[in-house]
Structure 1
Amino acid sequence: METFELILFLLTAVIASSILDKFLPPLSLPLVQIALGAVLALAVPTQLEWGIDPELLLILFIAPLHFNESRHVDSGALWKNRWGIASLSVGLVLAIVAACGATLHALLPAVPLAAACALGGAMGSTDAVAVTALTHDRRFGRRHEALLKGEALFNDVTGTVVFQCCPTILATGSFSLLHAGEEFALDLFGGFFGGLVMGLLAWGLLQVLRRTGLDNPTLHVMLELLLPFVIYLAAKSLHIGAVIAVVASGLMLSLLPQRHTAATARTKLQAQSVWTTLEFVLNGIIFVVLGMQLPRLLEPAAEGSLGDPATLLGVVVVLTLVLEGVRFAWLLAMDVRAAIASGKGARSCFAPAALRGTLAMAFAGAKGGITLSLMLTLTAAAGLSASGQATLVSIASGMIVLTLVLADFAVPALTPSKRSAKRTRDRVDAEIDLTLGVMASIEADAHLTGAVKGAVADVVDEPATVIVMHRYAEMLEDLAPAASPAAAARARAEVARVRGLYDQLDGIARRAARWDESEGGIEGEESPVAPSLSDQFHQMRETHDAVEDVQAQALVRELQLIKAMVADDSIDAAHAKDLRNDVYIQQLVLD
């Protein structure tokens, strides 16, 4: 029962954080969730007060989120930038390990160098969950975006292997490069190729179910939800990289051919809806849990039992600056190399816009659940005192928070949002023209669609047409603030006209509803016979069916108008694709 209450508690916290996010616009949702988790941990005792199993954190949250992310990543862009991703996943991680390890050992000589490098290994693992949550709405360049996503998916292998080697060094005082290389190869290549095989087997299972007629949307979605957990556990039993196996299986499923029929489209739409909800819940829970762990992990440092709190805070700040500085220098060197190879010259990388993009990439490598799960396993490291363990965990927790804060404030300041990039004035004006054209076609077809027989319809022609036009008027109202003055004026004039028609329709409906109160009619007016209850229900049903007919016809006209606007260069192909996708979704919902 306590576990069930904890689940409800976490779900409630995620919902509350989503509401709070609307009132705290300067903060991103992950930071709101972390802050809420910390407040709840101080106010409400839960099972998480005594910590969380790091392995459970990986399989329950990281595995499904990595699996879903890898299925939708641009595999072509990953392959094109494979050497850059390898550089970030191996070279940059080792540079971070060396820089952070040496800096921490120099600042706190009591911390052994191997233990300091263990912290560096944990910090080398960029968290895909945190990166996706903090940067999904930011517009990086195509190359930078591919590098960032590839790094987040693959770089935890190098950091994990380095982290796992450090306790051995602490316990034995020796280091075997051959053993470390074997561990790295088994985790990376074993996990990658093992994941590809398991992804192929999963694809084959889905194909068999589909061909035998056993597949249906519900079964398909349930199998998709189950796959990352099965693959993770299978990889752990084979002693290969479990997280990499999950990522590789997702990539394999995205590359293998899929049938494109109406049934598979409906299944894909349902699966996407389920995964979107699950992603929101898991992302929220992992950040709330992270926030709930922070008070427990930072409490020894705050109380002074680990030394001067100001000193520890200074160590956290210095190490975070070193971490971000190494990332920036490495990324800048990669950009210079890419610019020279493309013939642009190294000087183009030092232009203000280019430097802003590189700096945003550096800050975007936030740390999160993987780093925390690794550091929590450090408590079993031999040769490290309890106070030393607590010091490292507290420093790591502080760095996690600081990297998240930097990403939250620096990345939006350095890069434009995808929404604002798409919401240009020309695009908004084009959407207003499209909406006005659809509304004009609806009105022109009023004598052919949406006819309703009955007392109300006898007074106002085509009420269903007015209802659908009112829906499009609401879209115009949303578009007007971002439009040019001329387009906004046309939109607002049409909104006012349609509102007048809708108010007339609403007034007639209210008059019909007052028959019972007036007992036969309104004083001073002719008193027609009041409709019976069955007549009113029948009329409501007819109106509903007519509204759907008009809406379906309007969507067909919208697709025709989009095609015409592409032909006369009013909108580009990318904008037309976005608009058509919106229409297709509405058509599916209408069906």
Structure 2
Amino acid sequence: MELFFSVLLLVMATVVANIIYSLFPRVPLAFYQIGAGFILSWLPQFNHFQLEPEIFFLIILAPLMFNEGQNTSYLSLRRHFKAIISLAIVLAILTIFIAGGLTSWLWPALPTALAMSLAAIVTPTDAVAVSSITANVQVPQNVMETLENESLFNDASGIVALNLAVAAFSTGDFSVTASVGRFIVVFLGGVLVGIILGGLLVLLQLFFQRHLFSVASVTLPVNLLAPFLVYLVAEELHLSGILAVVAAGIIHGIYQKQLRLTSTGNQVILSTGWTIVSQLLNGFVFVLLGVTLPRNMADLADFSNSHFSKLLVLAIGLYVVMTVLRLIWAQCNLVHVPAKTSQQHWRNSWVLALSGVHGTITLAMAFSLPLVVKTQLLPFRTDLIFIAEAVIVISLIVPTLILPRILPRKKNNFTTQQFNRTLSSMVDYAIQQLKAHYDQDYLTLSRVISLLNTQRGHREHASVKKISHLFQRTQSLEIAIINDYAHNGQVKWASAQRYELRQLFYLRRIMLRPGMRLKLGWDILWRLIKNNRQLLVKAYQLKKNKLPEPENYHQDAKKMENWGYHAVLKYLRRMRRSDNKAEIRILRHYYELRHQRFNRPAEETTDESELLIAAFQYEYSYLQQISQKQELPLDLIQALNEKISTDQFVYMTSD
């Protein structure tokens, strides 16, 4: 229970950090998450918080790598294949040997195998962390693709090298030839297992889809469980579980893109599910970094201030060495850095070097260090984890300060206000066209117009006081009309009373504001006391559906609904002014929804769908017209097209 509560606090801290970032996006999200973890570190339950390394790898690392794999473009992998080999394998291995040698030289007391383990931990880069710190600057597209593809495979290089180094430390036997051979077997074997299992899981999901199994209850759980299954099988075969997960993810990514047009609902559910999982796990890791870093710093400082300073200098030295190696690699054209001029090549080389940000994978690998080796505690484990955490923080801070000085700020081609304004004009155009061409069925047209109005990108600011005042008038008008008809004998008094009570109960039920619900409840009670105290008992029975309906009640109710509805709409049209448009629209929406309960035959559903399809076509037509006039940025037109496509899918697949 204590572990569950601790994990729950970490998840809550991740969510809070995401909320703060959405309000103040100038600071990278990773810093908010680390800060949230730092605050949690003061709680007593985190004084000795520890996750089992195997669980950390399986639960956090496997799904993250699987998701990165399935979001990677296969064409991009082919295009950057040489760059991947150069950065993710050759440079990664060279960095491990150089960084490991530097560590052994600066820290002679550390065994060589553990020095190599540390180098393997700090070598992998994190494209998600890069995206976080470059959210406000414009990174060249080719450079960003190279970084993303590199992080996908140098993670595996680092993990395989870490496992070999830890095995060498535990056995005391290290051979370069044997290690390289083992590296190749584990690397290629993991890829092969991932391809095979990924293909089998794709076939399984295709089978589910063809036989119309529920996406939410079958396909999504299978997809979410895939990384755990692939990882466990590969590790059981003593191959790279992470590489297997990456390969399986790429296979899934190819499958999803091929079926994008034939399984839209499937894609939306899977994409949403994985977005939530990946964002939560990435944030969880950075919060965990904030939780553990202060404790490790305090423990090391208590042991010796000079030792703490030595570890910090080593972390800075490792970061500098890795950054310089990346810069040399790019400048010497050992990896292709697209550029038109020598000055641009120099700038992109620095971007590639500084964007070697370390994050989730590095921390996960640090925590995966075994607690016990050969029945003894692993020496220097806390020191190694602290150095890895320090490298992560340094690699986040340095590019955050430098990249904005060498890269242009990211410019939004349109503002939120411009998007909302154009969206409103687009919806207005579609409504005008519907009114001009489909005015025969006013009721269906009115429902479609109400739906289209929900597309608007901003909420109208309506006065609750004005709405309440208008409601009182429309209610009084409706009741007066119904009472007149009942007095003239066109409907029964019992039917009129029952109808009025039902409308008041319905109105109270749909109100969201507690104050408004309380006021309407009091209005109902007062009306019952004022008109007929015996109706209090009848109203209670009516609410419990125990009061028998008067004879021909449904026919009378339909008449009263039509009388009241048309009278109210005529009154609202007469009362509409420039300062109460929002309030009038809300009231019209309420009465139109209420009217649907009485006047909606089954065939009208088809008519409504046809009108909606026509409305979406008018919206597309409007965007095409303004794009031809070149009045708006292309990014804005594309964003609005995506908005229409999403709304069309939601409306057409909703009940």
Cα deviation 1:4-33 (Å, max 9, x = unaligned)? 323422222222222333565443222211
Cα deviation 1:128-164 (Å, max 9, x = unaligned)? 5534554577643332122111111111232233333
Determine if the alignment matches structure 1 residue 401 to structure 2 residue 401. no
In 2, the alpha carbon distance for the partners of 1:450 and 1:271 equals 41
Cα deviation 1:342-394 (Å, max 9, x = unaligned)? 9x5xxx2433xx44433233222222333234334165467999664443332
In 1, the alpha carbon distance for the partners of 2:617 and 2:342 equals 48
Could you say if the C-alpha distance between residues 7 and 167 of structure 1 is closer, same or farther in structure 2, counting changes exceeding 3 Å?
Answer: closer
**Structure whose alpha-carbon radius of gyration is higher:** 2
Cα deviation 1:177-213 (Å, max 9, x = unaligned)? 2321222112221111111111110111112222333
What does residue 111 of structure 1 align with? 110
State which of 520, 532, 540 in structure 1 corresponds to 2:500. 532
How far apart are 1:268 and its partner, in Å? 1.2
User: Where in structure 2 are the equivalents of 1:474-485 lying within 5 Å?
Assistant: 474=458
Bigger drift between 59-68 and 80-89 goes to 59-68
SS at match of 1:86: helix
Cα deviation 1:436-485 (Å, max 9, x = unaligned)? 354244245446569878xxxxxxx979858956864739xxxxxxxxxx
In 1, the alpha carbon distance for the partners of 2:424 and 2:593 equals 23
In 2, the alpha carbon distance for the partners of 1:307 and 1:449 equals 83
Could you say if the C-alpha distance between residues 43 and 518 of structure 1 is closer, same or farther in structure 2, counting changes exceeding 3 Å?
Answer: farther
Whether contact under 8 Å (2:187, 2:243) holds in the other structure is: yes
User: Where in structure 2 are the equivalents of 1:43-442 lying within 5 Å?
Assistant: 43-46=43-46, 49-131=48-130, 133-135=132-134, 139-167=138-166, 169-170=168-169, 175-256=174-255, 260=259, 264-305=263-304, 307-334=306-333, 348-351=341-344, 354-376=345-367, 377=369, 380=372, 388-412=380-404, 414-415=406-407, 420-421=410-411, 423-424=412-413, 435-442=424-431
How far apart are 1:66 and its partner, in Å? 1.5
What does residue 564 of structure 1 align with? 625
Could you say if the C-alpha distance between residues 9 and 504 of structure 1 is closer, same or farther in structure 2, counting changes exceeding 3 Å?
Answer: closer
Could you say if the C-alpha distance between residues 300 and 24 of structure 1 is closer, same or farther in structure 2, counting changes exceeding 3 Å?
Answer: farther
How far apart are 1:256 and its partner, in Å? 3.8
Bigger drift between 407-416 and 68-77 goes to 407-416
Cα deviation 1:232-285 (Å, max 9, x = unaligned)? 111111211111111111111222477758872112112222222222222222
Letter in 2 for 1:311: K
Bigger drift between 126-135 and 247-256 goes to 126-135
In 2, the alpha carbon distance for the partners of 1:277 and 1:168 equals 36
How far apart are 1:507 and its partner, in Å? 4.3
Q: Percent identity?
A: 23
Bigger drift between 121-130 and 67-76 goes to 121-130
Could you say if the C-alpha distance between residues 231 and 405 of structure 1 is closer, same or farther in structure 2, counting changes exceeding 3 Å?
Answer: same
Bigger drift between 462-471 and 298-307 goes to 462-471
In 2, the alpha carbon distance for the partners of 1:505 and 1:553 equals 34
What does residue 18 of structure 2 align with? 18
In 2, the alpha carbon distance for the partners of 1:504 and 1:167 equals 67
How far apart are 1:72 and its partner, in Å? 1.8
In 2, the alpha carbon distance for the partners of 1:259 and 1:446 equals 40
Bigger drift between 425-434 and 387-396 goes to 425-434
Provide TM-score, normalisation by structure 2: 0.71
Could you say if the C-alpha distance between residues 520 and 197 of structure 1 is closer, same or farther in structure 2, counting changes exceeding 3 Å?
Answer: closer
How far apart are 1:228 and its partner, in Å? 0.9
In 2, the alpha carbon distance for the partners of 1:206 and 1:313 equals 49
In 2, the alpha carbon distance for the partners of 1:257 and 1:465 equals 35
Letter in 1 for 2:395: T
State which of 577, 592, 596 in structure 2 corresponds to 1:542. 592
Provide TM-score, normalisation by structure 1: 0.78
Whether contact under 8 Å (2:61, 2:364) holds in the other structure is: no
Determine if the alignment matches structure 1 residue 2 to structure 2 residue 2. yes
In 2, the alpha carbon distance for the partners of 1:409 and 1:552 equals 50
Could you say if the C-alpha distance between residues 449 and 122 of structure 1 is closer, same or farther in structure 2, counting changes exceeding 3 Å?
Answer: farther
Bigger drift between 223-232 and 291-300 goes to 291-300
Whether contact under 8 Å (1:134, 1:408) holds in the other structure is: yes
Letter in 2 for 1:56: I
Could you say if the C-alpha distance between residues 411 and 192 of structure 1 is closer, same or farther in structure 2, counting changes exceeding 3 Å?
Answer: farther
- Corresponding pairs, count: 542
Tell me how large the CA RMSD over aligned residues is. Answer: 4.2
Bigger drift between 237-246 and 368-377 goes to 368-377
Whether contact under 8 Å (1:62, 1:129) holds in the other structure is: no
What does residue 524 of structure 1 align with? none
How far apart are 1:520 and its partner, in Å? 8.7
In 2, the alpha carbon distance for the partners of 1:215 and 1:519 equals 46
Unaligned runs of 5+ in 1: 454-460, 476-498, 522-528
Could you say if the C-alpha distance between residues 512 and 237 of structure 1 is closer, same or farther in structure 2, counting changes exceeding 3 Å?
Answer: same
In 2, the alpha carbon distance for the partners of 1:394 and 1:306 equals 14
Whether contact under 8 Å (2:414, 2:633) holds in the other structure is: no
Whether contact under 8 Å (2:100, 2:119) holds in the other structure is: yes
Could you say if the C-alpha distance between residues 23 and 512 of structure 1 is closer, same or farther in structure 2, counting changes exceeding 3 Å?
Answer: closer
Cα deviation 1:267-322 (Å, max 9, x = unaligned)? 21122222222222222222222222223333332224373433332332232222
In 2, the alpha carbon distance for the partners of 1:437 and 1:405 equals 44
What does residue 643 of structure 2 align with? 582
Could you say if the C-alpha distance between residues 515 and 133 of structure 1 is closer, same or farther in structure 2, counting changes exceeding 3 Å?
Answer: same
Could you say if the C-alpha distance between residues 229 and 415 of structure 1 is closer, same or farther in structure 2, counting changes exceeding 3 Å?
Answer: farther
Could you say if the C-alpha distance between residues 532 and 316 of structure 1 is closer, same or farther in structure 2, counting changes exceeding 3 Å?
Answer: same
In 2, the alpha carbon distance for the partners of 1:202 and 1:109 equals 48
Whether contact under 8 Å (1:196, 1:245) holds in the other structure is: yes
Whether contact under 8 Å (1:41, 1:49) holds in the other structure is: no
How far apart are 1:434 and its partner, in Å? 6.5
In 2, the alpha carbon distance for the partners of 1:105 and 1:317 equals 15
SS at match of 2:110: coil
In 1, the alpha carbon distance for the partners of 2:273 and 2:170 equals 46
In 1, the alpha carbon distance for the partners of 2:5 and 2:404 equals 37
Could you say if the C-alpha distance between residues 506 and 468 of structure 1 is closer, same or farther in structure 2, counting changes exceeding 3 Å?
Answer: farther
In 2, the alpha carbon distance for the partners of 1:431 and 1:198 equals 46
Letter in 2 for 1:18: N
Bigger drift between 211-220 and 191-200 goes to 211-220
